[in-house]
Structure 1
Amino acid sequence: MNLKINWGTGIVLAILSFMTFIIYLVVTMTTNQEFTHDLVVEEYYKQELSFQDQLNRETNSQSLRRNIQFEQTEDGVVIYFPSNMEVSKITGKILFYRPSDKKMDFNIPIELTSHEILIPGRFLEKGRWNIEIDWGYEKEAYYYKKEFTY
């Protein structure tokens, strides 16, 4: 049997093959658990609406005589709060989030006994991290953020 394929048939077969390949990719990428399609931050749009408030708190932090200091040590990450503030009046939370894997994100409430807090290295996998400190002193709100590689 001699099978001849003309140009028209070849083009149709090529298009059908390409469409089949694209459908296969779409189905594989949406159903396979190996590929995550999460936003970097939960409730992204809700957070975007509070962005101006965050900018105001960040401006408050920058106007301090001494802002939060951040240091990486062998033991982990040390966060230093301003020494001119009374530690019992400092409140808030510290968020560590990993842009590449939200399962590694964690929050720590700020409960200070001194002007520094140590985050042990065992909680931090090697790689890029973002830290956000949403804190307050007396009736003033502050915000600090930093990107770092551990």
Structure 2
Amino acid sequence: MKFNWGTGIVMAFAMFISFIGYLVIKMNTNEIYQHDLVTEDYYKKELDLQQKIDNAAAAATMDYSIKVKQRVEGLLIGFPENLRDDQIKGSVYMYNPSNKKLDFTTAIKLEGSKMLIPSKHLLEGRWDIEINWEVNQIPYYFKTKLMLQ
């Protein structure tokens, strides 16, 4: 067999296509390369969007602002101080877009209108925080994005 430019180009294309095929198969089958960037029930959660918008608007009209600050001991969430701790009920959902295994939900447990999420539950990186809470059976909603360091 005579080796010339045409044969070399065909062999180079064949090796390149084989290499790309290998990478595609490896990235899709290996558990190390997880790339889940959306939630499991994406469409179901989108249907609840209008309710969340209404609850966030209700919190804005009542001037119920929530403050989120990063501390050494963890994430400090401050609720309105004009409300009693026993009036506020709900949950805090922590969503990590890069790894769904880190997502968690915790019930609101206040100490002096503040709640602390310990730093042992939080890794560095981006987090989306969703707080569904209610006062006297009136629901409110708060959402923010936070970059933890």
TM-score of the pair, normalised by structure 1? 0.84
SS state of the match for residue 115, structure 2?
strand
Residue equivalent to 1:45: 43
Question: Among residues 74, 81, 84, which one is paired with 1:83 in the alignment?
Answer: 81
C-alpha displacement of 1:28:
0.6
Q: Specify the structure having the higher radius of gyration (Cα).
A: 1
- Look up the match of 2:119: 121
Q: Quick one: distance in 2 between partners of 1:123 and 1:10?
A: 55
Percent identity, aligned pairs only? 41
Shift of 1:41: 1.8
Q: Which letter maps to 1:19?
A: I
Map 1:20-99 onto structure 2 (within 5 A). 20-99=18-97
How big is each residue's C-alpha offset from its partner over 1:13-48, in whole Å with a ceiling of 9 and x where there is no partner? Answer: 343323212221111111111100323322112111
Contact 2:77–2:114 at 8 Å: present in 1 too?
yes
- Name the aligned partner's letter for residue 118 of structure 2: P
Q: Is contact 2:88–2:133 with CA below 8 Å preserved after alignment?
A: yes
The structural deviation recorded for 1:126 is 2.3
Unaligned runs of at least 5 residues, structure 2: none
- The aligned amino acid for 1:70 is V
TM-score by length of 2: 0.85
Contact 1:98 1:128 in 2 (8 A): yes
Contact conserved, 1:88 with 1:113, CA < 8 A, in 2? no
Unaligned runs of 5+ in 1: none
Point out the more displaced range, 9-18 or 133-142.
9-18
CA contact (8 A) 2:37 2:98 kept: no
C-alpha RMSD of the superposition? 2.0
Moved more, 112-121 or 52-61: 112-121
Distance in 2 (alpha carbons) for counterparts of 1:29 and 1:40:
18
2:25 & 2:70 partners in 1: Cα distance? 43
Does the 8 Å contact 2:35/2:98 carry over to 1? no
Match of 1:111 in 2: 109
8 Å CA contact retained: 1:99, 1:129: yes
Paired positions, count: 148
